[in-house]
């Protein structure tokens, strides 16, 4: 009986992706909840650690350290009760000179029957103020479970396979609020077959993103194989001075249509993201896919080298201004220059002053960062309830559900666990 269940799960897993016209292995991005909430339209944003598997070139946008933990439950409610899960852990470290590197580990599995693992090393660097390049080097491992059936089936004489792969990315800041992203994955088409040649096809993504006061809008196109095109569109809007975000997205292929919703809140120094995806065509009769990620922000924010260039220019202009002022003073004291020459020097001083003021405005714009956000914790003691905690921090017991939603993993049978630290949203 166990062998029948195991084979059925593996077959169902492969067919489930085939319905959507997707390749069955290493198709998941394991990136975090934020991109999922935008329908996976993320190639032209990728401005945090979650962009590793969308466009590694965007990682140089990050100016402080980031650590992400992510967990997802795809296709909840499928008929065979399969427990499908995915997880992701990554660390991003920025370097001076507008460059960053990151390491990541991801895991996708169908119970004990099948698993995929990716270990990746990523690097990104700004070539200019408008252009960034990035790359991923990945170790891919695919593994099948073992039972009495797989022990005798010659297909499973080899139950795992390890391969190597690489990706590249390009990020273009075409205008102040418009960017373009391009990425190509599995450039070497690694072999992931057990006993025969099974090559991962090259995937290519092209994305466009625009940012305005009303929010961000993104559009992605992905091509894999000759006839496979995948379209993604997503939007993101901030509220309460960038402390809360809402997202929505649509993903479409020839045989699949899905919608996504996402939200985030930012209790400093964290970013907590949640995403929900529901297929409208292709996979049916499920309760959707649920994903959550937590990003930890830490370390001193590095100075922008472009800001440093402006500071040097301002200092040079200041020195030039002082020199001209000394020349003007000498000219006026000794009456050795004509009034015309003095007027020319004054015009030069005025022009330099204007240039200095413009550069100082640009410097302040680049240096602007949102104010740090504070987070409040409550240490659960004996006798505490959700309503009593709500009463203590909000002055009313009616906001107990806000406390519950922010600490679901610390609540048992409706009661907070003694000794846990609750996040007060």
Phi, psi angle pair for 91, to nearest 5°: -130, 135
More confident residue, 326 or 89: 89
| Domain segments of the chain as ranges | 2-298, 305-367, 376-424
By the 10 Å C-beta count (0-12 exposed, 13-18 middle, 19+ buried), 336 is classed as exposed
Asked if residue 218 has pLDDT above 80, the reply is yes
Mean pLDDT of the chain: 84
What's residue 148's pLDDT?
62
What's residue 213's pLDDT?
79
Asked if residue 170 has pLDDT above 50, the reply is yes
Element housing 70 (H / E):
strand 65-73
Residue corresponding to tokens 């330099």? 352
What's residue 285's pLDDT?
74
Closest CA to 303 of 363, 250, 253: 363
Cα 51 to chain centroid distance, Å, stands at: 4
Q: Please answer whether residues 286 and 279 qualify as being in contact, where contact means their C-beta atoms are separated by less than 8 angstroms.
A: yes
What's the mean pLDDT in 267-271? 89
What's the mean pLDDT in 217-234? 88
**H-helix segments, 41-200:** 148-152
Q: Please answer whether residues 246 and 231 qualify as being in contact, where contact means their C-beta atoms are separated by less than 8 angstroms.
A: no
Fold adopted by 376-424: Membrane-bound Lytic Murein Transglycosylase D; Chain A (3.10.350)
Which segments within 176-309 are labelled E, that is strand?
Answer: 178-185, 203-212, 215-224, 228-239, 244-253, 256-265, 270-281, 289-298
CA distance 178 to 45: 10
pLDDT band at residue 139 under the 50/70/90 scheme:
very high
pLDDT band at residue 7 under the 50/70/90 scheme:
very low
**376-424 matches 2-298 in CATH topology:** no
Fold adopted by 2-298: Porin (2.40.160)
What's residue 374's pLDDT?
72
Asked if residue 336 has pLDDT above 70, the reply is no
Element housing 188 (H / E):
none
The lowest-confidence range among 53-67, 207-221, 338-352 is: 338-352
What's residue 290's pLDDT?
94
CA angle 165, 168, 171 (to 5 degrees): 155
Phi, psi angle pair for 410, to nearest 5°: -115, 10
pLDDT tens across 142-167, in order? 988 776 655 666 666 677 889 999 99
CA distance 317 to 38: 45
What's the mean pLDDT in 294-317? 73
pLDDT tens across 17-53, in order? 433 333 456 665 557 899 999 999 999 999 899 999 8
């Amino acid at each position: 009986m166990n062998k029948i269940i195991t084979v059925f799960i593996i077959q169902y897993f492969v067919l489930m992706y085939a319905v959507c016209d997707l390749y069955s292995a290493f198709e998941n991005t394991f990136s975090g909840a934020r991109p999922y909430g935008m329908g996976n339209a993320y190639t032209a944003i990728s401005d945090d650690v979650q962009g590793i598997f969308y466009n590694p070139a965007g990682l140089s946008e990050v100016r402080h350290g980031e650590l992400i933990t992510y967990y997802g439950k795809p296709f909840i409610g499928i008929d065979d009760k399969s427990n499908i899960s995915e997880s992701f852990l990554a660390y991003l470290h920025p370097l001076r000179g507008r460059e960053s590197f990151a390491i990541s580990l991801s895991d996708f599995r169908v119970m004990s029957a099948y698993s995929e693992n990716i270990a990746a090393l990523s690097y990104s660097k700004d070539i200019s103020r408008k252009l960034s390049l990035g790359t991923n080097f990945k170790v891919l491992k695919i593994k099948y479970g073992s039972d009495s059936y797989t022990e005798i089936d010659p297909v499973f004489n080899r139950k795992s396979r390890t391969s190597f792969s690489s990706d590249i990315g390009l990020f273009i800041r075409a205008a102040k609020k418009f960017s373009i992203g391009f990425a190509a994955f599995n450039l070497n088409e690694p072999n992931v077959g057990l006993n025969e040649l099974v090559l991962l096809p090259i995937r290519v993504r092209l994305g466009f993103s625009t940012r305005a006061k009303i929010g961000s809008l993104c559009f992605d196109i992905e091509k894999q194989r000759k006839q496979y095109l995948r379209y993604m569109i997503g939007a993101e809007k901030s509220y309460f001075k960038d402390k809360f975000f809402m997202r929505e997205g649509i993903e479409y292929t020839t045989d699949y249509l899905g919608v996504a919703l996402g939200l985030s809140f930012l209790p400093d120094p964290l970013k907590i993201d949640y995403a929900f995806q529901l297929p409208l065509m292709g996979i049916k009769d499920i309760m959707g896919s649920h994903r959550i990620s937590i990003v930890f922000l830490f370390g001193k924010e590095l100075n922008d080298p472009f800001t440093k260039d402006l500071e040097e220019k301002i200092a040079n202009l200041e020195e030039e201004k002082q020199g001209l002022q000394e020349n003007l003073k000498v000219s006026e004291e000794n009456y050795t220059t004509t009034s015309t020459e003095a007027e020319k020097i004054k015009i030069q001083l005025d022009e330099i002053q204007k240039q200095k003021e413009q550069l100082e405005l640009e410097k302040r714009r680049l240096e602007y960062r949102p104010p740090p956000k504070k987070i409040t914790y409550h240490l659960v003691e004996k006798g505490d309830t959700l309503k009593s905690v709500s009463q203590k921090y909000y002055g009313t017991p009616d906001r107990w559900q806000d406390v519950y939603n922010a600490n679901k993993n610390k609540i048992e049978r409706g009661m907070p666990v003694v000794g846990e630290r609750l996040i007060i949203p």
